[in-house]
Chains A and B, each alone.
Chain A
């Protein structure tokens, strides 16, 4: 029962690549992880750019893991898996981005804590 006989793939099913795919994925993941750790500790680059660089590297590495380890690709046999992933990513972005956005506004518009304490007396 090789998956190649079926038009659909389960997530995690091997495509045609086999072990080679995992080796490529491992190599890319090690590279991205190494760059992340280097960027976080270096003083060579402009400091405020570091969190952005780290976020980009992390998202790239998540993509590498999805494609090479979980075999979630954009192939025609993978549409449902990708649609579910897209919905999951939408919820994650709304949850994290929305929380940060709301809490940042709340912090900005709230009276400083010592003033609140004074008013309560």
Chain B
């Protein structure tokens, strides 16, 4: 990076630190590629947003109150996830497990609201096969929802691994990757609620 080698005396310690940096950097590259995949879905949605084929538009379908609650859940869960990563790095059990549990519950709340919204739309005949607009909507928002589901499973795995193996350096690296993943999902959600819901409901 800057060419300056780590000045830590212990060779083993500097090796562990640089492993953490390399792991984090590699995962950061993965997250950026994931964001590029999302940007393709965003581009598709933006192109097809007005292709409603005479069906319901975003203004008819979206309920901004529930979107605001979803946004709050995800934002707070991003915050508590940050607290959990501090708890893991400073090895404070209460902070780590407590913040991870709150993160899980907020993520679950987000998902349940989203699933209810999807089920309501399909029940009204506004499923993904109704129009190009709805196909793009379900692809984009559903893909984000799938990421959140995977993140929740990962979260439980991390809690179980810390519980079973303790705060080992390799476990801490996984916690770091998980928190990066969770924060990146929140960044994608900023794009979703702005482009899909706020711009869609305002048209």
Contacts and interface: CB of A to CB of B under 8 A. Distances in A.
A73 interface: no
A58 to B, nearest CB: 4
Contacts of B195: 58
B35 A10 contact: no
B202 interface: yes
A11 B180 contact: yes
Nearest to B27: A11
Interface string A44-85: 000000110011011001100110011000001101110011
B180 A70 contact: yes
A1 interface: yes
Contacts of A85: 28, 32
Interface residues of B, number: 60
A99 interface: yes
A65 B39 contact: no
Given A22-B83, A40-B198, A88-B32, A5 B6 contact: yes
Contacts of B113: none
B135 to A, nearest CB: 16
A19 B86 contact: yes
Given A65-B187, A103-B47, A30 B75 contact: yes
Given A6-B21, A80-B1, A100 B47 contact: yes
Given A1-B13, A95-B43, A81 B83 contact: no
Contacts of A41: 64, 201-202
For B4, B68, B187, the residue with the greatest tally of chain A CB atoms inside 10 Å of its CB is B187
A10 B46 contact: no
Interface in B65-99: 68, 71-72, 75-76, 78-79, 82-83, 85-86, 89
A7 B39 contact: no
B119 interface: no
B23 A10 contact: yes
Nearest to B43: A99
A98 B36 CA distance: 14
A99 B24 contact: no
23 contacts: A6-B6, A6-B8, A7-B2, A7-B7, A8-B2, A10-B20, A10-B24, A10-B176, A12-B85, A12-B176, A29-B75, A36-B193, A37-B71, A40-B199, A40-B201, A54-B194, A54-B198, A76-B2, A80-B25, A84-B32, A87-B32, A92-B36, A92-B39
Counting from the closest, the 8 A-B pairs by CB-CB distance are A10-B24, A88-B32, A99-B43, A40-B198, A58-B194, A22-B82, A92-B39, A11-B28
Given A40-B64, A103-B47, 5 more contacts: A1-B17, A12-B179, A69-B79, A84-B25, A88-B32
Interface of B: 1-2, 4, 6-8, 13-14, 16-18, 20-21, 23-25, 27-29, 32-33, 35-36, 39-40, 42-44, 46-47, 64, 68, 71-72, 75-76, 78-79, 82-83, 85-86, 89, 169, 176, 179-180, 183-184, 186-187, 190-191, 193-195, 198-199, 201-202
